[in-house]
Amino acid sequence: MIRFLRQQTWGNIALLFVALGCLLTPAVQYPLSTTFPIGGDAAAHIGIVQHLISRPILTAQNIYHSWYPISYILFSINAINPFVYWPIAFSWWMTLGQVITGLAIGLLSFRLFGIRAAAIGIALWGMTPIALTSFFEDATMAQLWSLPWAILFFERLAARSRKGMILCFFLASFSHPITGLILLVTIIITAPQLWMSTSKLDAKERLLRKIYSYSAGVAILLALGIFATRYRIFLLSFNFESSKYLRELFIGSFFPWAITAIYGWYHIVLLHKKNIVLITTLASFFFVSLLIAANDRLGIGFWTNRLNAYVTICIIVPASIGFARMIDMLRPKGIALLFTGTLLASLTGSVVYDNRNIYKRNESSTISTRITHDELQAIAWMKENISLSANVVSSSATRHYEWLPVLAGLSRNDIASSPNTFLVFFTRTETVPEYIGEKPEQYHLEYINKGAAVFRIIPL
């Protein structure tokens, strides 16, 4: 690392440090500005791994049967810390995922163009939280942690490392199946293009073409098999979702970078014209990512916001190269680098300012997007005063009940199924039904505060 830095000019090193600042500031802002993870998926992720030390076999089984084994294995490292408070650890783990993804983008841009592109790529990814990606708000930890592997898959491809590519492909696929599926479809689309290519492929590329073709063939057969035997998977119901991030990417604040990406893509094609597999694979990745992210425009509306991250990466990498190419042409060099650093820092400052307001809003006790102090106090009381064998019943009005197993070790149900049953109401979102207040002999109020009410059902 030190040798690498010694080879760089002072201007480039300064730009790299500015970029790292641009990556770290909005990322670290999330755990520092929020007292609890925002998204509802956090509890589910924690619940899988939190008992690694006390119940390792059960945890291993949970991880094995999950959709995201690699992400969970990495996340379970937190269990080694005996003083871990999982909600806080989760927020920092998301931050780490965001930072590692940014560094992976930097590595890919470095491989494709050089250190300036790496710095710009890192800084651009740093600007994405909340404005262009929903990872922090949705607590989609597994998907976020699958991105570095997907990016490194392309970096290894650029480095012509087949073993690295295969490893990264499997790590990405077992970190999050959607990422794996997108990479697989990319390979399926790329394989026939390589056979049609008029350019001569070298021996390594021909071998890679073979690997792509076999993988594509196996994947298509598997997909047909799944389609024939498990057709219900394709009938998954979902609410129509319009992509707010895609608009931001192509019309909103990121629009200049989307334009720069065109210029950057042109340079990638020119610079790496001899690496046909790389060019074709990157182009196919964009093909798949854009169609998937913009599926609301195709009349489908399936998880568009979550699927936007891939096309965002497809814009950031060439944009970093396009912009690096532009500053390469500017003279004097020092002024060009100063301008770039100032621009990136200013844009990051704007993102931090915008996100501050969003985090502040989420911290407000008047909204229920996240669990607040009162609800946490109620859960802490339940942990102290309700036996683990008790049955806790709550409605699905909020997703706060998902934290009961994580923070109190209690199992939660929709209906009362045992004599030792408690009812919990998170009263910021739901009201206690009138019949409960009218029958104090049957529903005994055990605990109440501004955010929750806990009743014990007295057996008749």
Binding site for other proteins (CB under 8 A): 185, 188-189, 192-193, 196-199, 233-236, 238, 250-251, 258-259, 262-263, 265-266, 268-270, 273, 276, 279-280, 282-284, 286-288, 290-292, 294-295, 297-302
Token pair of 145 as six digits:
């942690």
Euclidean distance between the first and the last CA atom of the chain, given in angstroms as a whole number: 72
Token pair of 406 as six digits:
């994580």
DSSP state at residue 37? -
Cα atoms in the Cβ-side hemisphere of radius 13 Å centred on 74 = 22
Closer CB to other proteins, 92 or 263, in the complex: 263
Other CB atoms closer than 10 Å to residue 298's CB: what's the count?
Answer: 10
Sequence-separated (6 or more) residues with CB below 8 Å from residue 375? 400, 426, 428, 451, 452
Cα atoms in the Cβ-side hemisphere of radius 13 Å centred on 230 = 6
DSSP state at residue 201? P
Token pair of 228 as six digits:
């024939």
Other CB atoms closer than 10 Å to residue 267's CB: what's the count?
Answer: 18
Residue 172 and residue 150 in contact, taking contact as beta carbons nearer than 8 Å: yes
Identify the CA nearest to 50 among candidates 81, 12, 95. Answer: 81
Identify the CA nearest to 87 among candidates 388, 384, 376. Answer: 376
Residue 56 and residue 153 in contact, taking contact as beta carbons nearer than 8 Å: no
86 exposed, middle or buried (CB, 10 Å; 0-12, 13-18, 19+)? Answer: buried
Closer CB to other proteins, 98 or 304, in the complex: 304
Least distance to other proteins from the beta carbon of 246, Å? 9
Indicate the SS3 state at residue 426.
strand
